[in-house]
Structure 1
Amino acid sequence: MKERKAWLVNGFLGLLFNLALIALAIVLLVNETAPVLAIVLLVIGSLLFSAITVVQPNQAQVVTFFGSYAGTIRESGFWMTLPLSTRKKVSLRVRNFNSVKLKVNDVEGNPIEIAAVVVFRVVDSAKALFDVDNYMQFVEIQSETALRHVANKYPYDAYEDNGYSLRGNSEEVALELSRELQERLSVAGVEVLEARLTHLAYSTEIASAMLQRQQASAILAARSRIVEGAVGMVQMAIIQLQREGVIELDEERKAAMINNLLVAIVSDRSANPVINTGSLY
């Protein structure tokens, strides 16, 4: 199915023409000049009343004539179309669908909770009505299916910084979700304007364990930075001491000094210096 424009005329002109037919039929009946023609005109006038319809802004009416698709009226206003036809309204307004919180597994098998909002609108009324049974229900089911599929392709968090993750690359995930939804919903004549995650969290049974993992990763990253900075400070201290000739350091004393400096800088507690004053005796 593909949407096409239905036959229509201005409703005010059609109503005026219809009233003129009925007036002419009444005159013929009163004068008894052509009663058969008057009856025919009355029947035609009655049928034309069934062709009058009103279309609201951002709304379409799909016209079917004895089971056959006759076209779609998209222009808002007062119209006259095919008599004895049935017309079904389809909203062309932008709408959104909030999915429920789904419990799925990411690519690493971790159970997570995820939800999304999908912004869409109908662009082909014929496909929306005739190619699927219920396009709103179709949008909901396909949105949840696409969300599950995208969630299964990525980890919740990329601890090794080796690719996309659901938490760290929300924009890229939203774009891929929109593309996949558009492929699924095009059969229903629906255009996806935006799809974005609204909820993302570890499932309750592993939330505490994953929190400990995140804390451990943060501590490890901080320790790495501290050690890197401590090594640089020790190198600068030794180079400056040797350059200014403050003290002569052999390899053994240099190793001891490096050990003491690293312990003092890297330790998470305040250092307690010990002063060597020599022997009393």
Structure 2
Amino acid sequence: MKPKTLEFSLLFILLAMLTCGRLFAQQGTTNRGDIEFSFANPDLVEWEGESYFSLDVMASSAESDQRLGTGIVLLNYNPEAFGFNVRTNNNVIVTQGNLVYREPFPFYYFIINDNTSTRLAITFEYLYSAGNGGLLSTTPQQLFNVKFKVLDTGHRAGIGFQQNMMSNQQYWDDNATLFDPVVAQDVENSLIPILPQHIALTIIGNVLFVSWDQVSGCTYSVYSAVDPLANDWQLEASGLTESAWSQAVEEDKKFFRVTATGTQ
């Protein structure tokens, strides 16, 4: 009888170990939910007297209750428009977006490096506790804005994600659970246009007219400011297809600028 008792005891221990093993595997799951990166709001802007191609990098998830932790975005770009090694040459500006920006203390720390001579690596490190990271939604939210200094016009932006290197690099705000899958297939290939030239302002009666030289393959945006040095330009009109715009005269003094955005 003793051998049978020993056999039964060993069988019981083995079953208990298998049960615990299954529970441990469930608790140690490292993949949860999806995350998708995309682009929005491409524009040609002026920053401290230089021309930049501005672009928002957005993040979203098809599932609810997904909070963003540490991750990395890898952006390929066209060196004909922006040159090589944009970080090393100080030809790029990155600003935190509303998904991750917090005051008065930052929850995320951004690290910007050249991954290759034509690829930018933007790492966002989550510094706070689980349950407080940026809450993703099905509607894309701004993760950050990136501005590439334009070194030459007349070229396509050629900006796209390096998706294969971004997989297994995006974490929940516990910085342990991975998002899976990671989708980053969007491409921004707008033409970097020649800036509109010979901008003219004319007032006829109570109507103000702004005109400029046509730039092939572009739409236009008109901005105004009371003080051009305050960097507080207000959008007056966008998506214009004609090289002219007008409005009623409302103030004694106002400054205007025009930007062109290349169409696909």
TM-score, reference length from structure 1: 0.26
Using CA pairs below 8 Å that are at least 6 residues apart, which structure has the higher relative contact order?
2
Structure holding more helix per residue:
1
Of the two, which has the highest radius of gyration?
1
* TM-score in terms of structure 2 length: 0.27
